[in-house]
Structure 1
Amino acid sequence: MIQRTLVFITILFLCSEVLCQEKAVDSLCSHSFDQLYSHIEKYSGQKEVWPYLQAYLIKAKKSIEWDETVNAYHYILSELPDDQRMVYADSMIYAAEKSESNKVIGSAYLTKGILFYNRKNHTQALDNYVIANRYLSRVNDDYLKYKLKYNIGLIKYYLGFYNEAVSLFRECVNYFEQEDRRAYLNALHCLALSYNRLGKITESVTINDKAFQEARSLKRIKIMPYILQLKGVNLFYVSDYKDAIAAIKGVLPQIKKDGDFGNEAVGLFYIGRSYWELGEKQQAVSYFKNVDRIFLEKNYIRPDLRQNYELLIDYYKQQENLKMQLYYINRLLKVDKLMARDYRYLSAKIHKEYDTTRLIEAKNSIQKELEREKNNRIILVVVIVVLMICLGNFTYFHLNTNKRWKKNFEELMANKDKPRSALVKTSATKNLDINPEVVGQILRKLELFEKRRCFLKKDINASMLASGFQTNYKYLTKVIHFHREKNFTAYLNDLRVDYIITQLQSDAKLRLYTNSALADEAGFSTTQHFTKAFQKKAGMSPTFFINELNKSL
């Protein structure tokens, strides 16, 4: 009986927990996508992020905004462990295709390809990159195109087309240096790897040192083991075997901890090769066997690791151990069979589908360029006419706007001594369906809220205020709507704008502040929200108001 009671209590507790979580997510759905994203960024990597992710996805699905639904899945994927990502990736593809946007669909397939690549499934990765390229070749988004080039470069590197990989990674380095420092760092590292495989060790060392400095500057600790491992590999190629061993051994535990069995195999192989060159062949063999273990467990190998088996066969040949010699011959045959199958598919597909697409793009680009030259004069005339019309419209709009803002400023200054906060209705509150005593309590608390300037507190919302007033969200918003004649957001924004207007009129130092500083002073979370609220309330921009105020005083 006691056991049943305990089980019943446990079930009740779990149900109440689930209900509380569902209510929390439902309340978050009232937030804007920008607000939800700011919290997702804030709690990234923590369990607190999940209610905001769920709210973002639910809100996007309910409003049938497929672009935002795809964004929600992107954010969710970044928080999930590897083994759970593919299910959400399929949902992301479905939402992307519903959007009917080439950019969104291409980006989704690119993301799915990256997930496959991270799992060392290069065939599936390439299939998705090819599909992504079909869509992205139709859009004008250089960032996504270079991101695709970078990932195609990784496949080229894996296949052993190192010259082609260098060409792609160089392009990515040049582009991302100005656009995205993290992507620039990754491209630098891959360029250094490609130079190493080409035997251009001096270039590899130079680029890898650049990557190291960039990683330190960006505090990108996660990539450091891979940069230092390449440093160790480069040391091997300049015959500094002891330092190569020390460098790779120093970072191998972290690479293994990251679950990167591909780079773990590379590290083990070059430690083994270094011991081999030092004449410590028995020590070397133990590392070569670990490379084979990874192949056995993960079915992963790449061309530059093939020598691992040649050295094992050579070792056991010298030991006259026919059994082990035969064993590793069979292992090498299996390696060759796997590479022949995968590499034939990958190399044929990458040249046939990706490179052909690039040639067609180049052909179309040249044809368009010739057409542009043919019609250059006509286009120039049209452009000039359009610019003149646009300039005229802009001048008219600017003058008209200034005239309207000037009038609004004069009216505002004429009424500066009058209270700007909305009048409280004194009429009966029967239509509110709320106990008049409750309404009175809320109004008194609102007056204190305004008098004490509690509205300057950042990130305040109706739910928080209702909790502070010891009432509920529905009552509070109804009272504000009836007695202040506006919704909660407009009410809060107007109080803040009224406050900052009064402060600007009385404090000359405040007029030297930037819009960002003024937004912070007034309690707004972003400069954009502040300027938009100010213009809506005052009928002019904050900058115009300050300039006119300085002129009039």
Structure 2
Amino acid sequence: MLSLLLLMYHIICISQVKSSKSYQEFRKHYESKELNDDTAWPDIYAFIKMGKEKKDYRALALGYRDAVAYSSNINAKLKFADSTIQAALKTKNNDLISDAYTGKGILYSFNLKKYQPALDEFLRAYSYSLISKDDYLKHKVNYHLGNVKSYLGYYDEAVGHFNSSVSYFESGTKHSVNPNTQYNFKKGYYNLLHQMIICYGNLNEAEKSDSLIELGINLTRQQDDFQLEHSYFLKCKGILYFNNNKPNDAIYYLDKALPQILKKNDAIWVSVIYYYLGNIFINNDEKKKGISYFTKVDSIFNQHRFIFPEIRNNYTFLVDYYKQENNAAQELYYTKQLLCVDNILVKDFKYLSKKMFREYDGRKLEDEKESLKSSRLIIFIIGFIIVSITVTALIYRHCQEQNLKKKYNELQERLIVYKNKVKTSEKIHEDIAQPKKQVVSDDKAYELGKKLAVFEEKNQFLQKGLICTKLAEQLKTNSHYLSTYINETKGVNFNKYLAELRINYITQLLNSDRKYLNYTIKALAAECGIASRQNFSDLFFEINGMRPADFIKMRLKELNNK
């Protein structure tokens, strides 16, 4: 406890002493440290604190980016990545914003292996990089987009990304004078080559893949700074020899690649090497040794819950192997693991999952009954559970569809009522509602009611960024009275009033004009003045009782039936 207090006191003292220092002086204390080193945090905290005090959002963005780099905890990294984005957005600097989104995408793809959200972040980064003058940033974002698409199985698209950037990075390795800049270009170039090899291999373009492997090995040979990249190329060469039925050469290069990749703790590529080594030994009738490598693959999968599609067969072999060995317990375990693998692949590898299931042998539980004679009760229970889950899912889906249909019909009735109400409300000079609480004179209330009627009739509520204060200025009144008037006459607060006008407006358009049914949710949100796609979807659900995507689906179905 005492040591903790002393540490806290030490940090406070440091922050007080450093209050007059510049940003760069803070950074000098930690920029030479290793990444993920939490001891950098006191100086980074002081850096961020100074940025907040000066409201220097550019400095804040850089400070939070450093916090991402030096924090060892992934949850902290994600939190600081969000802060980096928020600070960068306030600078309105497209380069900083693009770099901030790229940083969060890297966390998702490389740290968490969550490629769907990673792709979302990289696409946001890409949209800002389009109007950037920083070519390095553009190609960096382009590389990451291609990298994620490669992992997701969109190899043709990924190669397109890599080909458009490879010349840029290659040129930078030759013409950069600054050593740090040259290092970044080299690293980017070698990583591009590695990903291109993977893509060409999966596209069965062996000649292109082979030539890039030799190029990568020659370029990284005897370069201390790029031992990891050299190992990746050696790994690719080992897989090449495996595919060419040269097991001894394959073992040589895979074993040679393994130490550096293990040292980097790149477990996913380690599992790939183990998978191919396992295959080699099994093909050479060394099944026990091969199985030991396959079980190592399974251990890595259990730890990271990620796997490449190419090593899915690791589990089909283990299932078949233990079936032949009459080991029901192991067969059942690896069958469950195979199902888990398939669930992950379906989620993250949409393109590859289709191919995977075409090739999948459609193993059924009835077949398992004959082979698992000692585990018939277990098989029955599993079958019962699967059937129960399937039936429950079908019932739930049916109920959901019926509920949506009911909500849709109710909404159609309300749209008719609302449409008639809009038509009858065109007499804006009559029947103006009076507030229950008399805040100002009747004449002023009447005038405000007329102005609001015009505001509604002319769809002025579609203005972006409209708030109560802004509307009060436009109507030449004060925000307090406007808010009170709306509460008393409309029965809702200003935000709800504005939301209902906007959602009713866009719902009418969707219902009456088919072209809007082809709009994206984001475009529909913009059409009715709502900035956020998620906010629009939530408001639509709150007011209409169903999501906009569901409404569009049911409206299209209704129109097509007609």
- Correspondent of 1:342 among 348, 355, 358: 348
Which residue matches 2:213?
208
Q: Kindly provide the amino acid, as one letter, of the partner of residue 208 in structure 2.
A: E
2:211 alignment partner, SS class = helix
Aligned mates of 1:218, 1:272 — CA distance in 2? 30
Which residue matches 1:353?
none
Aligned mates of 2:226, 2:302 — CA distance in 1? 32
Task: Say if 2:262 is the partner of 1:256.
Answer: yes
**Identity rate, percent:** 32
Q: Kindly provide the amino acid, as one letter, of the partner of residue 108 in structure 2.
A: F
Which residue matches 1:123?
116
Aligned mates of 2:353, 2:52 — CA distance in 1? 40
2:306 alignment partner, SS class = coil
Task: Say if 2:147 is the partner of 1:154.
Answer: yes
Which residue matches 1:276?
282
Which residue matches 1:72?
63
Which residue matches 1:289?
295
The 1:183–1:82 alpha-carbon spacing in structure 2 relative to 1, beyond 3 Å, is farther
Ranges in structure 1 where 5+ consecutive residues have no aligned partner: 1-6, 349-553
Cα deviation per residue 1:295-329 (whole Å; 9 max; x = unaligned)?
23322122111111222233234434455444433
Aligned mates of 1:199, 1:230 — CA distance in 2? 14
The 1:15–1:290 alpha-carbon spacing in structure 2 relative to 1, beyond 3 Å, is closer
Task: Say if 2:238 is the partner of 1:232.
Answer: yes
CA drift at 1:271: 0.9
Which residue matches 2:385?
none
Where does 1:12-411 land on structure 2 (aligned, <5 Å)? 13-14=6-7, 16-27=9-20, 29=21, 31=22, 33-34=23-24, 36-37=26-27, 40-43=30-33, 50=41, 52-83=43-74, 84-118=76-110, 119-179=112-172, 180-215=185-220, 216-217=222-223, 219-344=225-350
What count of residue pairs does the alignment treat as equivalent? 338
The 1:157–1:100 alpha-carbon spacing in structure 2 relative to 1, beyond 3 Å, is same
C-alpha RMSD over aligned residues = 3.0
The 1:320–1:85 alpha-carbon spacing in structure 2 relative to 1, beyond 3 Å, is same
CA drift at 1:160: 1.9
Aligned mates of 2:223, 2:232 — CA distance in 1? 16
Which residue matches 2:410?
none
Does the 8 A contact of 2:159 with 2:199 survive in 1? Answer: yes
Q: Kindly provide the amino acid, as one letter, of the partner of residue 111 in structure 1.
A: G
Does the 8 A contact of 2:126 with 2:142 survive in 1? Answer: no
CA drift at 1:39: 5.6
Q: Kindly provide the amino acid, as one letter, of the partner of residue 55 in structure 2.
A: I
Does the 8 A contact of 1:261 with 1:294 survive in 2? Answer: yes
CA drift at 1:102: 2.9
Aligned mates of 2:107, 2:350 — CA distance in 1? 22
Q: Runs of 4+ in structure 1 displaced over 6 angstroms?
A: 345-348
Cα deviation per residue 1:167-191 (whole Å; 9 max; x = unaligned)?
2222221111123222112112221
Does the 8 A contact of 2:162 with 2:196 survive in 1? Answer: yes
Does the 8 A contact of 2:68 with 2:77 survive in 1? Answer: yes
1:146 alignment partner, SS class = helix
Q: Kindly provide the amino acid, as one letter, of the partner of residue 117 in structure 1.
A: S
Does the 8 A contact of 2:345 with 2:353 survive in 1? Answer: no
Where does 1:372-521 land on structure 2 (aligned, <5 Å)? none
The 1:77–1:294 alpha-carbon spacing in structure 2 relative to 1, beyond 3 Å, is same
CA drift at 1:112: 0.2
The 1:236–1:69 alpha-carbon spacing in structure 2 relative to 1, beyond 3 Å, is same
TM-score with structure 2 setting the length: 0.54
CA drift at 1:346: 11
2:349 alignment partner, SS class = helix
Cα deviation per residue 1:31-58 (whole Å; 9 max; x = unaligned)?
3x45555665445557875555344323
Does the 8 A contact of 2:190 with 2:229 survive in 1? Answer: no
Q: Kindly provide the amino acid, as one letter, of the partner of residue 56 in structure 2.
A: E
Does the 8 A contact of 2:235 with 2:254 survive in 1? Answer: yes
Does the 8 A contact of 1:162 with 1:197 survive in 2? Answer: yes
Cα deviation per residue 1:399-419 (whole Å; 9 max; x = unaligned)?
xxxxxxxxxxxxxxxxxxxxx
TM-score with structure 1 setting the length: 0.55
Structure whose alpha-carbon radius of gyration is higher: 1
Q: Kindly provide the amino acid, as one letter, of the partner of residue 138 in structure 2.
A: K
Q: Kindly provide the amino acid, as one letter, of the partner of residue 159 in structure 1.
A: L
CA drift at 1:217: 4.3
Q: Kindly provide the amino acid, as one letter, of the partner of residue 204 in structure 1.
A: S
Aligned mates of 1:72, 1:37 — CA distance in 2? 9
Does the 8 A contact of 2:239 with 2:250 survive in 1? Answer: yes
Does the 8 A contact of 1:159 with 1:343 survive in 2? Answer: yes
Ranges in structure 2 where 5+ consecutive residues have no aligned partner: 173-184, 355-562
Aligned mates of 2:57, 2:217 — CA distance in 1? 40
1:294 alignment partner, SS class = helix
More relative contact order in 1 or in 2 (CA 8 Å, sep 6+)? Answer: 1
Aligned mates of 2:347, 2:32 — CA distance in 1? 45
1:115 alignment partner, SS class = helix
